[in-house]
Amino acid sequence: MLSIEVCYALPGTQTLIAVDLPEGSTLRQAIDASGIRERHPEIDISTMKTGVFGKLKPLDTVLAQHDRVEIYRPLIADPKEARQRRVQKTRKAGSIEGRRWLNKDSR
């Protein structure tokens, strides 16, 4: 038997469910056995990404002992655009983050 954890995180809370499965079980079988979709009906594994320990994996991935299956929510904002907005905001406030040094002697 495999000891697996299934995890789903929301902004304010995390659900972590331990399940025991037979050897050769898949990521999809772990999600089904956990009952997490009854607790969180918004989970649609046909469209949401899944993974094991932070690495994206398809639903037919065979699990190993002590794997943590993760269900990922869709991103609200593009991380690159969000970082660019933060840099622009700090530049407007007078920060030199992201600017190149103009004078080599001042380094």
Which residue type does 64 have? A
* Burial class of 47 by CB neighbour count within 10 A (0 to 12, 13 to 18, 19+): exposed
pLDDT surpasses 90 at 107:
no
Task: Give me the mean pLDDT over the 100-106 stretch.
Answer: 52
Residue-wise pLDDT for 75-97, tens only, equals: 777 778 888 888 888 877 776 55
49 and 72 Cβ atoms separated by less than 8 Å:
yes
Q: Would you state the pLDDT for residue 83? A: 86
For the chain, the first-to-last Cα distance in angstroms comes to 59
How confident is the model at residue 100, as a pLDDT? 54
Q: Domain ranges for the chain, please list them.
A: 2-72
- Predicted TM-score (pTM) above 0.75: no
The β-bridge relationship of strands 55-56 and 68-72 is: unpaired
* 49-52 and 2-9 strand pairing: unpaired
23-56 tens-digit pLDDT: 999 999 999 999 999 999 999 888 999 999 999 9
CATH superfamily of 2-72: Beta-grasp domain (3.10.20.30)
